[in-house]
Amino acid sequence: MTKPVRDMRKNLRLLARDAHDGGSPFRIARFAAPRHAEAIAPIEPIEPWASLGYPAGWLEKYLTGRDTALYRFALLRENESGDVATAGYMAVRFPWLVGPFLELLAIAPAHQGLGLGAFAVARLQQAAHLAERQLWTSVALHNPRAARFYERLGFAPTADVPDLLRPGFTERLLRYDART
């Protein structure tokens, strides 16, 4: 195993441990069912999964399935009274080609637009940068809001992949080059 691969694995394991800024209401924790399951139901019916026809229960199966190359995280938000709620999920596949692949970033509708997604991706970008890796993700072409989100965070489109998840749907592959 090469040093950059070892470094990236270590950084992913440490992501949850180090991912809390003193002044930020956001945290990243390793996913643990059922403690972090409260946001699953509000996330399942939103885009892009609604259009793709994912069945009920898909997200829980995905988050709890056995897959040693998938790092799963709960995204937490602390409210003004100090209560902490699971507000979303992030899953990162590594190894994946030439860097980690952000396979899932899902924020419950009640917590969208507050900066939690950008916080989580910035932490992942930092982990990739420390390991001198490229960071990859994909967005459904029918989800332009997600594409704009990633482009604002420095991801660049690299290719369109038709029929990747479902026939008739195209995914756009995006890359963040953390090596620079």
pLDDT, tens only, 60-89: 999 999 999 999 999 999 988 889 999 999
Residue 57: pLDDT over 80: yes
Residue 102 has pLDDT above 60, yes or no: yes
In this prediction, residues 87-114 reach a mean pLDDT of 93
Convert the pLDDT of each residue in 20-42 to its tens digit. 556 789 999 999 888 888 889 99
Other CB atoms within 10 Å distance of the CB of residue 8: 24
Q: Hey, what domains does the chain have and what are their CATH numbers? A: 3-132 (3.40.630.30)
Whole-prediction pTM: 0.90
Give the per-residue pLDDT at 157: 97
For 78-104, what is the mean pLDDT? 91
State yes or no: pLDDT of 1 exceeds 60.
yes
Lowest mean pLDDT among 85-89, 96-100, 155-159, 174-178: 96-100
Among 112, 126, 122, 102, residue whose Cα is nearest residue 7: 126
Q: Which long-range contacts (CB under 8 A, 24 or more apart) does 97-102 make?
A: 97/136, 98/133, 98/134, 99/8, 99/128, 99/133, 99/134, 99/135, 99/136, 99/178, 100/8, 100/12, 100/124, 100/127, 100/128, 100/133, 100/135, 100/136, 101/136, 101/137, 102/135, 102/136, 102/137
Left if phi > 0, otherwise alpha if psi is -120 to 50, otherwise beta: which for 24? beta
Q: Give residue 17's pLDDT band: very low, low, confident or very high (50, 70, 90).
A: low
pLDDT recorded at residue 22:
65
**Statement: residue 19 has pLDDT above 60:** no
